[in-house]
Amino acid sequence: VLSADALELMGLSRDVVQAAIDSGHKVYGLNTLLGSGRDTAVEEASILDYQIQVIRYHHSGVGALLARDEVRAVILTRLIGFTRGGSGVRPDTARFYAELLNRGVVPAIPRDGSVGSSDLTQLAAVAAVAIGEGQALAEDGTVVTGAEALARAGLEPLVLAPGEALALVSANAYSIGAGALQFGRLLRLADLADTALALSLEATARYDGGGNLSPFSPAVQAAKAVDGQRVSAAKVRCLLRGGWLEDPRREASVQDALSFRAAPQTHGAFRAQVTALAEALEVELNGRGDNPLTDLVSGRMVSGGNFQPMQLALAFEALRLGLAHVGISSERRIAKLYPPQRLIRQLNLEAARSGTPLAAEDLPGLLWYSAAGLLAELKFLAAPATLGAPTLSADVEDHSTLAPLALQQLERAVETAGKLLTIEALTAAYLLAEAQGAEAGGSQSAGEARPVSYTHLDVYKRQGQVSG
């Protein structure tokens, strides 16, 4: 439901558009062609037909279709943009987009086709359905015509007013909306990284004399004002609280390898980039990225470049680089946990106390190799995407952000990093479970031997954050 204030603001914005039409002055995309044709006027008698031409011209995306939640995020993001008063669409047009959401109309949006200076092709796919063209996804997953989807929802096709076609397609609603969906996944991934680290600390303490908790102490974290670092260190301490790593009688190595010792700094830097993404998303969602921009203060339609979401694109870039470093540290910890022959002999000796020798083939197989392959992919995905910007439209559109490509690479990186961190968590948990089983036959009970963070992993598995 759109608020009265939002509807009033959009009405005032539309008044500015109407004033521009009445003035007869050239306004980009309102009464002129687009791109390199920016100075070519559109005849007044053809302006309404021109709206349909703009949508059809830009409806040229390719590739796999966006998922339903992504499509709804795109529509919602564009609707939010309308309510900011910079697009000049009529309130009724905004109401129509709200009804697409309310009545479950899901346009079929191809994933590829935007260079990040407005997600023109993706938004044209939404606009095409709005005017009764294009395609949409039915509830059973089949593809139907846009006209059929509207009819099923009880909606008549939208009839556009002058200038609305460009307003519908000239925005970054795909990059912003789908990017917002990644935010929660990134936060969960940061927590998974800390959980895997805690498990690895316990495992290395059990088998290699490591697990020094000094780098996670409040004193170390207070010495450097990095919020993300403090959060990660605190989470690890919380996971290990009350566990046997805190036993003052335990002799730990003076200091662990950097993949353990500097993990709060690495994980904290990644958390900082997640925060930077949130800030960039907030800027885009609260801003007016329209071109031309309807300016209520001057009462004019002003050309500008707010459709260039460079801050958001660079946030996507930085996150992939941060994830690569998280992955590097994770793979190094896996390498140190991976059971060598001496560990196999040690586990067999301990297990033999309970009369159940441990077979070498019971240990993790080639998970380390899988981790190495995943890390190679993470490093590849960390390469800059935004620097490949092409020059288009007769050299008029000579720079772009490639934000959608940066986002899609981030989505792949999130999935890849999740698999890598899961391997670390399960490898460490496996070793701890074996130790627990061996120690259960000795002086300690199974409950007493159970590490705190291993219990936390069970919770993660129940919540579906870790596979296996």
* Buried b / exposed e along 292-315 (16+ C-beta atoms within 10 A): bbbbeeeebbbeeebbbbbbbbbb
pLDDT class for 352, splitting at 50, 70, 90? low
DSSP 32-46: B-SGGGTTSBPPGGG
387-419 burial code (b ≥16 CB/10 A, e <16): eebeeeeeeebeebbbbbbbbbbbbebbebbbb
Q: How confident is the model at residue 445 (pLDDT cuts 50, 70, 90)?
A: very low
Tokens of 357: 């020798």
Averaged pLDDT, 145-164: 98
**Closest residue by Cα to residue 203 from 372, 437, 427:** 427
User: Given this chain, do its domains 4-171 and 176-291+306-462 carry the same CATH topology?
Assistant: no
List CB contacts of 347: < 8 A, sequence separation 6 or more: 339, 358, 363, 434, 435, 438
pLDDT in tens, 304-341: 999 999 999 999 999 999 999 999 999 999 999 876 54
Q: Are 164 and 392 in contact (CB under 8 A)?
A: no
- Percent of the chain past pLDDT 70, that is, above it, reads 87
For domain 4-171, the CATH architecture is Orthogonal Bundle (1.10)
pLDDT confidence of residue 444:
47
pLDDT of residue 417: 98
Q: Which of 389, 25, 450 is nearest to 199 (CA)?
A: 450
Given pLDDT bands bounded at 50, 70 and 90, which one contains residue 182?
Answer: very high
Of 441 and 148, which is predicted with more confidence?
148
Q: What percent of the chain has pLDDT over 90?
A: 76
DSSP 361: G
CA distance 377 to 67: 24
C-alpha 182 chain-centroid distance: 2
- pLDDT tens column, 83-128: 999 999 999 999 999 999 999 999 999 999 999 999 999 999 999 9
Q: Are 263 and 197 in contact (CB under 8 A)?
A: yes
How confident is residue 209, by pLDDT bands cut at 50, 70 and 90? Answer: confident
Q: Which of 5-9, 240-244, 350-354 has the lowest mean pLDDT?
A: 350-354
Question: In this predicted model, what pLDDT tens digit does every residue of 20-42 receive, in sequence order?
Answer: 999 999 999 999 999 889 989 99
**Residue of higher predicted confidence among 411 and 369:** 411
- Local confidence band at 66 (pLDDT 50, 70, 90 cut-offs): very high
The pLDDT value given to residue 455: 53
CB atoms within 10 A of CB 274: 21
Query: pLDDT value at position 359?
Result: 46
> Looking at the predicted structure, is the pLDDT value of residue 459 above 90?
no
Cis amide leading into 364 (omega within 30): no
So what's the pLDDT on residue 364? 55
Q: What is the CATH number of domain 176-291+306-462?
A: 1.20.200.10
pLDDT at 366: 74
Q: Residue 449 has what pLDDT?
A: 44
248 forms beta bridges with none
Neighbours of 236 (CB within 10 A): 23
**Residue 353 near residue 414, CB atoms below 8 Å:** no
Residue 10 pLDDT more than 50? yes
Q: How far apart are CA 301 and CA 20, in angstroms?
A: 7
Are the beta carbons of 244 and 284 closer than 8 angstroms?
A: no
Residue-wise pLDDT for 266-309, tens only, equals 999 999 999 999 999 999 999 999 999 999 999 999 999 999 99
User: For residue 360, what pLDDT is reported?
Assistant: 43
Bridge-based pairing state of the strands 293-295 and 300-302: antiparallel
**pLDDT tens digits, one per residue of 220-268:** 999 998 999 999 999 999 999 988 788 888 888 889 999 999 999 999 9
* C-alpha–C-alpha distance, residues 124 and 309, integer Å: 18
Q: For 138, which DSSP code? A: -
Domain map (residue ranges) of the chain? 4-171, 176-291+306-462
Mean pLDDT of the chain: 90
Q: Which secondary structure element, helix H or strand E, spans residue 107, and what is its range?
A: strand 106-107
Q: What is the pLDDT of residue 361?
A: 46
Q: Tell me the pLDDT band of 456, cut-offs 50, 70 and 90.
A: low
For residue 131, the model assigns a pLDDT of 99
Give the integer Cα–Cα distance in Å for 307 and 397: 12
